[in-house]
Amino acid sequence: MLIHRLKILVALILSFVVIEGYTYYTKHPSVITDVSYNAKGLLSNLKFRPGNLTELFSLNFRPSNQVTNPPTSQDNSFDLPTYNQPFDSTSAPLSVNAQGKPSPTYQVSTGTWQTDTQPTKRPVYKPTSVQPTGLDDELLDFPYEAGAENAIKAKPTKAPKPTKTPTPQPITTDLRPGSTLYEIFDEVSKRACFPSALLKAIQYKESGARIKNSLPASTIKIYNTYGWWKTGAGDPCSGKGYYEQSGIIPPDSVNAGASCGPVYGDPTDLKIMGITSISEWEQNVAQKYISSIIPKNDRRIFFDNALMFAYISRSRVGNPPKDCNDWPDDVIRLVAEKHSGGTCKYYYSINDVSGNYCKEILDLYKQYK
């Protein structure tokens, strides 16, 4: 019974030793290297009989006065080597110390290794800061996010400036732009910033009885070409190439002096001609506005006549609207009033016709717009 209890006690002691040893070597891994070398030398010097272990675990000990083998003169003592060599992080080759144990060395490309004087602490690596190259400093100011190593701070772009409408090139050919009346008015609107619908309204009121919008392109081409009244390509009476108040064809035209009646209006002849009824005086005033666009011009040409009316009307308004296609009603009335001689009401005694010119033009403008 005593032997059984002793075996249990020995087993508990051995378990305690194994657990404490494992815990110690786990917390101090650097000691394992020293112990491995020391154990090698210790085991090489120890000699024991095979029966020793059997006797140890069976607790069958011999009396102390019984010696089977006499002591020998061999020295079985041993010394554990001491580890006091300082660690050098800059040493490159693997060296061997006096005890035959290799000295640990470390070599890294960047950063430094820092070690404690105690061999039980692990070395700590501190990387050196590396600044990226090839980029401006202002591009490096960007918060880091996972997976965004190459992210670059984008610069805000300025709002694009509106593209200025290019100035139309001067018209140097005898044939003017547009193959229909409406195309002609649209071309004039682009150059003078004047509502095309207002040009249509004025033309219909002034010359709609003779010059229809349904005229074919071949006819429009004749009366939209410079000098048609000289060459005889067109008829001065059909193309409004005569003085409206007197009905007389001008002396520089074919069929000069002939009459294109009936006529009406003020007996004072202002030499009004063309599709929007431009006087000789108005044509002369318009030169300061249109000479850069049409160096050689005449009010008997469809395009030239509409362009003269547009610039003269803008000058009469004083401060025309910014919108080139939509003008307020009061501005439309003002244009009509100025064009009719400063009054909206009219009366033609020759045919007993009266009306309100400003209202009629405004109604037509809204219709064409």
Q: Is residue 137 part of a domain?
A: no
Q: Is residue 18 part of a domain?
A: no
Structural tokens at position 13: 């002691």
Q: How many CB atoms lie within 10 A of CB 111?
A: 12
The pLDDT, as a whole number, for residue 114 is 47
Reported in sequence order, the residue ranges of the chain that DSSP labels E, i.e. its strands, are: 112-114, 124-126, 345-348, 353-356
Q: Is residue 312 part of a domain?
A: yes
How far is residue 83 CA from its own chain's centroid? 68
Range of the domain at 186: 181-241+271-368
> Do the Cβ atoms of 177 and 171 come closer than 8 Å?
yes
Mean pLDDT within 26-46: 59
Q: Which residues of 280-312 are buried (b: 16+ CB within 10 A; e: fewer)?
A: eebbeebeebbeebbeebbbbbbbbbbbbbbbb
The pLDDT, as a whole number, for residue 87 is 44
Lowest mean pLDDT among 8-17, 157-166, 292-301, 307-316: 157-166
193 or 16, which is more confident?
193
pTM for this prediction: 0.57
Q: Is residue 336 part of a domain?
A: yes
The pLDDT, as a whole number, for residue 56 is 45
Mean pLDDT within 251-279: 89
Q: Is residue 201 part of a domain?
A: yes
Is the pLDDT reported for residue 353 higher than 50? yes
| DSSP-based three-state secondary structure for 354 | strand
67 falls in which pLDDT band (50, 70, 90)? Answer: very low
Q: Is residue 306 part of a domain?
A: yes
pLDDT digits (tens, 9 = 90+) for 277-294: 999 999 999 999 999 999
Q: Is residue 350 part of a domain?
A: yes
Q: Is residue 105 part of a domain?
A: no
Mean pLDDT of the chain: 77
How many structural domains comprise the chain? 1
